[in-house]
Amino acid sequence: MKQLLVEAISDSEEQTIRFGERLGSALRSASVVGLTGPMGAGKTRLVQGIAQGSGYSGRIRSPSFALLHLYQGRIPLRHFDFYRLDAIDEGTAGEWEEEMDREGLSLIEWADRFPKILPDEALWIDLSTESATRRRITLRLRLPTCHLDHWRLL
């Protein structure tokens, strides 16, 4: 399957947040974004920027213990975190898939732990650490399972 890849470099937390803001202003409702990368790579910072870009002005916290936080901006935002999960049973997977199908934007940190519950048209973002402050941000979109007009970010 073909993929569309876009890469960016961030040299600070502020740049990661600004990148997320631009992305958040371009994402449409019913978009699912899977975030991957090691601990401390900037996943939550990127989510903070996406939330700001989608019109949410409040505080964004990592949902590591709650598993899901809901925020209301221009579009509803669901922020999942799969870090603390060892397994997802079939019933829970179905509930989360249903939640991702709802109107709004779903952002899933540590999505690579359970990639099969994300839809084929999900946008995947990998953050990798290149130095203490430098991050590589790679956006990956599967083609042709998605419609590029769904993603106005490129």
Torsion of CA 109, 112, 118, 123, to 10 degrees: 70
Kindly state the average pLDDT of the residues 53-65.
84
pLDDT of residue 62: 78
pTM exceeds 0.85, yes or no: no
pLDDT tens digits for range 67-103: 788 898 888 999 988 887 676 666 565 566 666 667 8
The architecture CATH gives domain 2-145: 3-Layer(aba) Sandwich (3.40)
Torsion of CA 87, 95, 121, 125, to 10 degrees: -50
Please state which of the ranges 11-20, 36-45, 80-89, 104-113 shows the lowest mean pLDDT. Answer: 80-89
In this predicted structure, the answer to whether residue 104 has a pLDDT above a threshold of 80 is yes
Going from N- to C-terminal start, the domains of the chain cover: 2-145
